[in-house]
Chains A and B, each alone.
Chain A
Amino acid sequence: MLSGDAMERRLQIAGILMLLGLLVEAFCLFWTRPIGFVLFLGIGGLMLALGVALYLLAVLSRQNPKV
């Protein structure tokens, strides 16, 4: 269940993307064919990169609390 808070929701989506990426990476470790390498970088790497980008976006777009 995604959070109602925008910042937390972005973190959750980033986390889900990363989990999918990590799952693909773990799977490809045991796939010794060249296609395993391609999927590792093409799918796993892309999902991790999107997750990291979304996390950074969430952090950078966070509004500073008023002092």
Chain B
Amino acid sequence: MALPASWLLLLILITAIFVVWIVIRPGITATRGGKILAFVMLFLMPILCLGMGTSYHMERSKQTKFCLSCHEMEPFGKSLLVDDPGHLAAAHFQNHRVPAEDACFTCHTNYAMFGTFRAKMHGLKHVYVHYLGKPPAPEAIRLYDPFNNRECLHCHLGARSFEEGAVHTADPELLPAVKANKISCVSSGCHEVVHNVSTLGKEKVWQGGL
């Protein structure tokens, strides 16, 4: 649970005031009370600030606007506004099947152990490439691994529209194969249009988003 920025700033400010006091008057740490104060302000509070701050930044980095703040991601943000229910990402975003404010993270995290950590490590690599490398053209950007059905099933498993959908149940072998990740949800003939960044200019755009 992340603190709001104003509380975090207050925490940092209080810590900084006491640290300044100790820096100016280090002699106060000679007393018993001073030693306790130094322990709290030079050990506990900095760790608390770092921990709370990291939590705050982690939460903020899940936001759609955070992901779209890099220009490489702008076309992917625009693809969420395509006015066509056949476009998977757009349909999810516009109908709030994923939280609109965390849309990218909801689908592109890894719902396995350390999934968020892995997503953030990929994010660090993106920052490196953005500032120090040569970012690929948006249409050349690919996922690190093929999209795992586990990410879709995190929400859709057990849902009536998924379990009893006409297309899903037409072939009795389809759903078990999808659940076992043997047939991808985004494979050809299924939900294959996800982020259509190469054809964005030709698509009708919904005006209500972002």
Question: Which residues does A use to contact B, with CB under 8 Å?
Answer: 3, 5, 8-9, 11-12, 14-16, 18-19, 21-23, 25-26, 28-30, 32-38, 40-41, 44-45, 48-49, 51-52, 55-56, 59
Q: A32-B66, A34-B61, A34-B69 are in contact. List 15 more A-B contacts (CB 8 A).
A: A11-B22, A11-B23, A14-B42, A15-B19, A15-B42, A18-B19, A22-B12, A30-B5, A33-B69, A34-B126, A40-B53, A41-B57, A48-B47, A48-B49, A56-B43
**Smallest CB separation, A61 vs chain B (Å):** 14
B124 at the interface (CB under 8 A from A): yes
Q: How many angstroms from the CA of A33 to the CA of B47 in the assembled complex?
A: 23
Name the B residues within 8 Å of A33 (CB-CB).
69-70
Q: Which residues of A contact B49 (CB under 8 A)?
A: 22, 25, 48
Q: Which of A15, A26, A51 contacts B20 (CB 8 A)?
A: A15
Given contacts A15-B19, A29-B53, A34-B61, contact A8 B26 (CB under 8 A): yes
Question: Per DSSP, are chain A's interface residues mostly helix, strand or loop, or mixed?
Answer: helix
A22 to B16, CA, bound (A): 7
CB-contact partner of B27 in A8, A32, A45, under 8 A: A8
Given A32-B66, A34-B70, A52-B46, A25 and B26 contact (CB-CB distance below 8 Å): no
Contact of A41 among B54, B66, B69, B130 (CB under 8 A): B54
B155 on the interface (CB 8 Å rule)? no
Residue of B nearest to A36 (CB): B57
Q: Give B residues with C-beta under 8 Å from A.
A: 5, 8-9, 12-13, 15-16, 19-20, 22-23, 26-27, 29, 38-39, 42-43, 46-47, 49-50, 53-54, 56-57, 60-61, 65-66, 69-70, 123-124, 126-127, 130-131
A21→B46 contact, CB < 8 A: yes
Residues of B with C-beta under 8 A to A9: 26
